């Protein structure tokens, strides 16, 4: 209850500081436009020029009514007509230039933000991805970035042109008649009030619309991949999925209707206000013209200027709403960009040169970070636990220490959840220890650049991931410059060359999403071929032969025996029969190394390893 109360208080406090947050957000958005200063300057120049051009036609109309027609000056009429056409052409050119400049800035921003988001998300900790919805994250990368870009390209461009246009028009109107100008400005407060009221409401429903759309995207991403579609079919839940998706789609529909009505009401109200202002000019201007205080042409010019004033004012009030809602897009983008990458290169980090493959764990303690530091609540879905929501997990590794010599093959075994995979992931620094040190070739991995460290480590996971691309592309991911001979040699080493050669497209065969066009054993062998092509000093195999049949397993074991020569190897295995020849076996239980030795030594000791081995042997012979 205390956690809930504090979170509620925090939200209320943040709401009270909304104006300060928005100002900081605006400053940050403006900061992103600094690389585009030249385009922005060009945009402002064209806007000013267009505003000046825009106020001239009513003056030409005034001259036509007050001078050319009464004096029957046909030459002046011709020149006024030529002037009107010239101004129209100039305005068209300036509008085109404005659009070019604004699109250059907007598209540049969308590029910058997308690349920054993509790069930053790739560097976030694995714990972020285990808690984050893929569809919601994709929504940030696509919908929110586009929304932010449109705010710059359309909204901010409209605001700038309208502000400058109104200022220039008012200046000309004051020069014509100050009395009518002041009457025009009387209704200005009526433009601000409805925009302020409806703007806040539109901002709220826009944020909800983004969240619901992100939720729909996540549902699509999960159900429309091979694994998700198979689960739906196997359990026969098509109707349930349709209803679940339909509920969210209905909410998007309802929000769209509400947003449309708010916008329509705003436009209608502002239109009525503008009509009242125009009527005032008709009445007062007409009476002044009748009395001879001003000319008929001046009244006609004022009628045109009133339209030029009220139309931009209406757009400006709408623009205020658009800016407020667009800030939501920027805020959601910055929320991801501001999420800390827990594993980063230290200042002065050095490259690991010519790695030998020595690994040392020195009194290592590790646990996963708290949910608050591992994820963004807005990228998660569903009820969260109210108990210990900000507490980190329990210790996964507890005072783990061991050394793996260069070229040594060490096996990590133990019950499920003992901490074997976590131990292995600390070597390439997928996560950082909380206490103790992990060393490679005598260097604390935190003092090494991540790129050089991970170049020295090859990892084959229990469930290897293949991209929806060709076999060639998946292999080249490990070594982009590899030759055809090197690709074939890696396939030969992983005992999959015969299969590749039998395929109609060979190395150019598409493996399908997550490699689902390949069998489990074929995926494993392709993943092993990928690591062999990388040629690292350290190879880590996490249940790398778990999906292989007996014949394939024998072939892979022979290939790995050859591949591991001269390299450091760490093998994580549940099938203990596959690691009896390891140089050393570490038995991990409860996050601690409880036994260490060769297979025969551990069997004689009669401890946990012997118990696990006998249990598996009994199960296999039963």
Whichever domain contains 45, its CATH number is: 1.20.1560.10
Task: Classify residue 564: in a domain, yes or no.
Answer: no
pLDDT tens string 191-213: 667 666 776 777 677 777 777 87
Q: Where are the alpha helices (DSSP H) in 412-509?
A: 420-425, 450-455, 471-476, 484-493, 497-502
CA angle 520, 522, 524 (to 5 degrees): 70
What whole-number percentage of the chain has pLDDT above 90? 16
Maximum average pLDDT range among 258-262, 557-561, 594-598: 594-598
pTM over 0.75: no
pLDDT tens string 460-500: 887 788 888 888 988 988 888 889 999 998 888 888 888 88
Q: Which residue has the higher pLDDT, 25 or 19?
A: 25
Task: Give bridge partners of residue 589 from the DSSP assignment.
Answer: 592
Sign of the torsion angle spanned by Cα atoms 472, 476, 478, 479? positive
Arithmetic mean of pLDDT, 164-171: 87
Task: Classify residue 622: in a domain, yes or no.
Answer: no
Same domain, 333 and 473: no
Mean pLDDT check: name the lowest of 56-60, 319-323, 379-383.
379-383
Give the per-residue pLDDT at 85: 92
Task: Classify residue 178: in a domain, yes or no.
Answer: yes
Domain-ending residue, one of 512, 529, 546: 529
Task: Classify residue 511: in a domain, yes or no.
Answer: yes
Task: Classify residue 427: in a domain, yes or no.
Answer: no
Arithmetic mean of pLDDT, 129-158: 73
Task: Classify residue 566: in a domain, yes or no.
Answer: no
Task: Classify residue 304: in a domain, yes or no.
Answer: yes
Q: CA–CA separation, 373 vs 127, rounded Å?
A: 9
Same domain, 332 and 479: no
Q: How many domains does the chain have?
A: 2
Mean pLDDT check: name the lowest of 32-46, 199-213, 521-535.
199-213
Arithmetic mean of pLDDT, 375-396: 54
Give the per-residue pLDDT at 21: 47
Give the per-residue pLDDT at 8: 35
Arithmetic mean of pLDDT, 156-161: 77
Task: Classify residue 251: in a domain, yes or no.
Answer: yes
Among 539, 538, 621, 607, residue whose Cα is nearest residue 577 = 621
Same domain, 332 and 468: no
211 is in which domain, residue-wise?
A: 14-337
| pLDDT at residue 531 is higher than 90 | no
Helix %, strand %, coil % of the chain (to 5): 65, 10, 25
Mean pLDDT of the chain: 80
How far is residue 391 CA from its own chain's centroid?
A: 27
Give the per-residue pLDDT at 5: 33
Domain-ending residue, one of 306, 337, 368: 337
Q: Which residue has the higher pLDDT, 198 or 117?
A: 117
Query: Is residue 373 very low, low, confident or very high in pLDDT (cuts 50, 70, 90)?
Result: low
| pLDDT at residue 215 is higher than 80 | no
**Contact (CB, 8 A) for 377 and 384:** yes
Same domain, 124 and 270: yes
Domain-ending residue, one of 287, 304, 337: 337
Give the per-residue pLDDT at 595: 92
Query: Is residue 10 very low, low, confident or very high in pLDDT (cuts 50, 70, 90)?
Result: very low
Give the per-residue pLDDT at 388: 41
């Amino acid at each position: 209850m205390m956690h809930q109360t504090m979170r509620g208080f925090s939200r209320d406090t943040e709401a009270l500081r909304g104006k300060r947050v928005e100002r900081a957000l605006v400053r940050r958005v403006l900061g992103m436009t600094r690389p585009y200063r030249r385009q922005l300057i060009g945009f402002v120049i064209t806007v000013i020029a267009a505003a000046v051009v825009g106020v001239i036609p009513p003056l030409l109309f005034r001259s036509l009514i007050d001078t050319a027609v009464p004096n029957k000056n046909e030459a002046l009429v011709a020149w006024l007509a030529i002037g009107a056409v010239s101004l129209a052409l100039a305005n068209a050119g300036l509008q085109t230039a404005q659009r070019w400049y604004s699109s250059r800035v907007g598209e540049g921003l969308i590029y910058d933000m997308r690349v920054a988001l993509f790069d930053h998300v790739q560097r976030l900790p694995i714990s972020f991805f285990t808690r984050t919805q893929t569809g919601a994250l994709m929504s940030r990368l696509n919908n929110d970035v586009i929304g932010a870009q449109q705010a710059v390209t359309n909204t901010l461009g409209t605001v700038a042109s309208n502000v400058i246009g109104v200022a220039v028009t008012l200046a000309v109107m004051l020069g014509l008649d100050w009395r009518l100008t002041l009457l025009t400005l009387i209704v200005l407060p009526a433009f601000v009030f409805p925009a302020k009221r409806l703007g806040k409401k539109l901002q709220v429903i826009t944020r909800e619309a983004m969240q619901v759309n992100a939720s729909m995207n996540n549902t699509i991403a999960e159900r429309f991949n091979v694994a998700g579609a198979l689960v739906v079919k196997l359990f026969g839940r098509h109707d349930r999925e349709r209803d679940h998706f339909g509920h969210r789609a209905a909410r998007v529909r309802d929000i769209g209707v509400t947003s449309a009505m708010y916008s329509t009401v705003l436009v209608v109200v502002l239109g009525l206000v503008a009509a009242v202002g125009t009527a005032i000019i008709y009445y007062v201007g007409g009476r002044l013209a009748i009395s001879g205080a001003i000319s008929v042409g001046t009244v006609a010019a004022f009628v045109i200027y009133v339209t030029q004033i009220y139309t931009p004012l209406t757009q400006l009030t709408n623009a205020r709403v658009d800016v407020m809602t667009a800030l939501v897009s920027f805020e959601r983008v910055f929320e991801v960009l501001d999420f800390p990458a827990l594993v980063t290169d230290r200042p002065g980090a050095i490259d690991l040169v010519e790695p030998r493959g020595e690994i040392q764990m020195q009194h290592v303690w590790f646990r996963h970070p708290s949910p608050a530091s591992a994820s963004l609540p807005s990228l998660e879905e569903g009820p969260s636990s109210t108990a210990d929501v900000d507490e980190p997990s329990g210790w996964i590794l507890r005072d783990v220490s061991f050394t793996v010599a260069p070229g040594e093959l060490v096996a990590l075994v133990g019950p499920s959840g003992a901490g074997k995979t976590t131990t292995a992931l600390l070597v390439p620094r997928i996560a950082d220890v909380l206490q103790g040190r992990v060393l490679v070739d005598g260097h604390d991995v935190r003092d090494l650049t991540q790129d050089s460290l991970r170049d020295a480590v090859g990892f084959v996971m229990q469930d290897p991931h293949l991209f929806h691309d060709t076999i060639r592309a998946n292999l080249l991911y490990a070594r982009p410059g590899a030759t055809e001979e090197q690709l074939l040699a890696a396939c030969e080493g992983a005992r999959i060359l015969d299969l590749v050669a039998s395929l109609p497209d060979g190395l150019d065969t598409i493996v399908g999403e997550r490699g689902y066009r390949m069998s489990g054993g074929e995926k494993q062998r392709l993943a092993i071929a990928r690591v062999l092509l990388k040629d690292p000093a350290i190879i880590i195999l996490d249940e790398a032969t778990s999906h292989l049949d007996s014949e394939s397993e024998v072939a892979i074991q022979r290939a790995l025996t050859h591949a591991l020569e001269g390299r450091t190897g760490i093998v994580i295995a549940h099938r203990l029969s596959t690691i009896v020849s390891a140089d050393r076996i570490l038995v991990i239980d409860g996050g601690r190394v409880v036994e260490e030795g060769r297979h025969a030594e551990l069997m004689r000791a009669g401890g946990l390893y012997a118990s696990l081995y006998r249990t598996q042997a009994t199960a296999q012979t039963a």
